[in-house]
Structure 1
Amino acid sequence: MVGSSSLFAASSAKRCVWAAALLILMGSAGCQSPPLKQPGSGGADGAEQKVVLTVWNDWTGQDPTSETMRGLLGKFQQDNPDVEVRQQSILRDAYRSRLKTMAAADELPDVFLIWPDSMTREFVRGGLIQPLDDMLNAHAGLEAGFMPHSFDSFTVDGGKYSVPLSMAPSSFVFYNQAIFNKYGVRVPQTWDELLAAIRIFNENGITPIALGNKSSWVAPSFIFSTLADRMTGTEWFRDVISQNGAKFTDPIFLKALHLLQELVAAKAFQDNFNYIDNMQMEQLYYRKQAAMFVGNGSAVANLIAGAPQDVQESTHLALLPQVPGGIGNPYSTSGVVGAGFAINSKLSGAQRQAAFKLIYALSGPDAQRSILDSNTLVSYRLDVDHSRAHPLFIELHQLMKSVTMLPAYETQLTTAAVEALNAGIQDVLKGGSPEDMARNLQTIQASTFGKFR
């Protein structure tokens, strides 16, 4: 462990206080103090036993990234028979809330996926995870292999608490060029052109933009984070995050919420958009029932794996257009480095070393190559093999060389504010009051900001 053990092996009572505070930020309460887990390094007779690691992830789907990561985990188990990995895959929609519930009960798994920025800071301030600097120092070339600033969102007070598994831009417009050509529609470059395209597609019985917001994070992550920046610009967002003079009740933010409602009023989305999930959303597009959908970088891998050949060949990528009166950069998308693995602060000895070995196996150079080859972007310095990569992934990779990555609402807001944002956007999409949503979001961000900074 970096530094003295007292820095990160805090008493169970102290962890419980911080964990309870963390859950209060999520709108719940409760805490227990179960016994600490013991490293699996030896039995009563002195015989060597397997080291046991409990591992949580969200690799539940059949998407290429999940399959690749499950394969890497399986290879680690084969290569390390002295380590028993007890892994649990949890649906993404439930993953974060379950993780925070376990944090409040002081029962976190040994190794688990964690998101960058606010979530990492809150877990660090709660004394729940420990830095990976010893592992990074032991593998001197690993950190140097990443692009500049790749570790920034996982760094707190100089310590690095995870290794990014991917690069996660979140807002691309996927469009079917054949459908656009059939109805004489140009790819929208402005808000007015987008509304015109929506009108033409509706007149011809085609859903303009497929949306699946049953899981309430989809619209905030894929659409609103970037749409809001188009209106407010990034500096306003940085100020409102830190509550430095800007507020979510500012007129410029309310305009972004009203633009979202303008899309609903124009019938940009199919009627059941709040009752299907993002995978069903993509299926609507695959079946040519929708001309567009807005998704993240991972949707490219999904499309390559699941869409019919003619849809793959007709699909291209664009960015959300600039908006009237907006001051944000139109050639940008919100996004972050992807999730990474963190280590429970309780781990020491053989368990800690096994956890380091596991994380290296899942995020080191060989793993980064496997992830890239699954048509998933990484922030590790690797070239795409154009002779093997799908043309759409090459298009994505080239686009990212010139697109600015904006800070994402879902990782910059406090976790309590993220929950308020997701619920609020879903309500706004149903016709709820943007003003009420903004007031609630402002109250929660103002009351929780700083507790874990």
Structure 2
Amino acid sequence: MKRTRIVWLVLALLMVGTLIWAGGGKEAASDDSGAVVLRYTSLRTEDQERENSKNAEFTKLFPNIKIQFEAIKDTEYDTVLKTSLETGVAADIVMLRSFDGGRQIYDGGYLVELNDIIPGMHDTFTANSIATWATEDGVMYGVPYFGSITGVWYNIDIFNKYGLKEPETWAEFIAICEKLKNAGETVFAHGTKDQWAITETLYCDLGPNFYGGEDSRQKLMAKEIKYTDPKFVKAYEKIGELVKYFPSGYQGIDYVTMQQMFLNEQAAMFIAGSWELGIIRDAEVNAGWFPPPVEKKGDPLHYAFYADLALGINKNTEHMEEAIEFLKWVASPDHAKLLANALPGMFPTLKIHYDIDDALALEIIESTQMSHVVPTGQLMWEKLSLEEPSGETLQNEAVQRFLNGTFTAKQAVEYVQKGLDTWYFK
């Protein structure tokens, strides 16, 4: 029997998130059948087949509109999107990163305002997810696409081989790492080549339990504390304890290689997001999931659970009517049901009931409902990355240099704060 969940109760807690790319409203206007071809761009290359399958359902409803899904490597996405928008060849539908990432695209004058053309969004989406892609005075420029959760994936077969159980505390987590390393196993599928990956899946995944999660994020934005606060230093020190469990030559390992190591069962654990569930299912890996370990039993679990990506309409599209029709569909409960199961581990942020067929996806979303959970978002995505040097870039660089051994924890936080002092704390 299909298991059903009242997902809006969970997603109402969402705090942060995003996606984007290139394309062109200036070409490929129709196919041989005469249907309008809408170009829709994304940074998730791994979703090609699933997106095509899902979007085919839209074409069944609107045979005169076909969706051409185009993805680009995530590390190149922002640059390509910006260039394509500036040169007038961007896609009709663009994926938007949350908060500052999407806001910069809107402020550049590239996005359609959605308040009047997609009515009822406040009745459909959670307030926090709407606010992620809206201005201070309520202008909405993105339809929330899905929320993500970050935690730790593990290979069940490897854990069973050594009699290991999911850890709750940091000490239990380190004990597992030690046992696996001493047994000759590769503990983590992790490297530091891609800066975004180590920040999102290490510092802002495991770190919140040490720097104070959402409370500290809000205080940092309010300038009540600085990034040099001892709590942020401690978070660096804790993730630094994991470096000795990384593979040899980890400095040259990028995110795609990290994925492949885990999918090929070459490592016991992979610190990443719920968004990986689809490719884990495709690879038929016997995988489990556990939340970021807390420092000691009874501590609040500061769980990174946030509105991640949205879709916007390129203001210069030549297919405005069709683009609006597509986003209306994306904002519907029917699309939410399709998305939740076509892309397992990605959770639509609607205030509605929808079915989650995948048992592990359901387990992940249910793990956010424990009484001691305090949801939080990515530390630098809101307000702190609107200008240069952006907090996100500074933190990415600091985390990478720290894990590669060229910064101490103290030097890392001072580097970030020095950059923020030039504009945000000025």
TM-score band, normalised by the shorter chain?
A: 0.7 to 0.9
Report the CA distance between 1:77 and its aligned residue: 5.5
Please give the alpha-carbon distance, in whole angstroms, between the structure 1 residues aligned to 2:218 and 2:53: 39
Report the CA distance between 1:295 and its aligned residue: 1.5
Letter in 2 for 1:414: S
Please give the alpha-carbon distance, in whole angstroms, between the structure 2 residues aligned to 1:165 and 1:294: 23
1:60 aligns with 2:45: yes
Give deviations 1:65-85, integer Å, cap 9, x for gaps.
x42322344554576565576
SS in 2 for 1:323: coil
1:334 aligns with 2:334: no
CA contact (8 A) 2:228 2:417 kept: yes
1:261 is matched with 240
Between 1:121-130 and 1:151-160, the stretch displaced more is: 121-130
Report the CA distance between 1:37 and its aligned residue: 7.9
Show structure 1 runs of 4+ deviating over 6 A. 36-41, 49-52
Identity of aligned residues (%): 22
Give deviations 1:305-346, integer Å, cap 9, x for gaps.
2134xx2xxx3321121237x9x9642321321311112344
Between 1:288-297 and 1:425-434, the stretch displaced more is: 288-297
Report the CA distance between 1:94 and its aligned residue: 0.9
TM-score with structure 1 setting the length:
0.75
1:316 is matched with 288
Report the CA distance between 1:40 and its aligned residue: 11
TM-score with structure 2 setting the length:
0.79
User: Which of 351, 362, 367 matches 1:394?
Assistant: 362
Report the CA distance between 1:214 and its aligned residue: 3.1
CA contact (8 A) 1:172 1:319 kept: yes
CA contact (8 A) 1:210 1:270 kept: yes
1:304 aligns with 2:281: yes
Gaps of 5+ in 1: 1-35, 42-48
**Residues 34-433 of structure 1 mapped to structure 2, 5 A cutoff:** 53-61=38-46, 63=47, 66-76=48-58, 80=62, 88-103=70-85, 108-137=90-119, 140=120, 143-156=122-135, 157-169=137-149, 171-233=150-212, 234-242=214-222, 244-264=223-243, 267-308=244-285, 311=286, 315-323=287-295, 330-346=300-316, 351-374=319-342, 375=344, 376-380=346-350, 381-384=352-355, 389-402=357-370, 403-409=373-379, 411-412=381-382, 413-414=384-385, 416-433=390-407
The structure having more radius of gyration, on CA atoms, is 1
Report the CA distance between 1:408 and its aligned residue: 1.2
The 3 A distance-change label for structure 1 pair 194 and 346 is same
1:435 is matched with 410
The 3 A distance-change label for structure 1 pair 87 and 173 is closer
SS in 1 for 2:396: helix
Please give the alpha-carbon distance, in whole angstroms, between the structure 2 residues aligned to 1:196 and 1:107: 52
Letter in 1 for 2:76: A
The 3 A distance-change label for structure 1 pair 229 and 152 is same
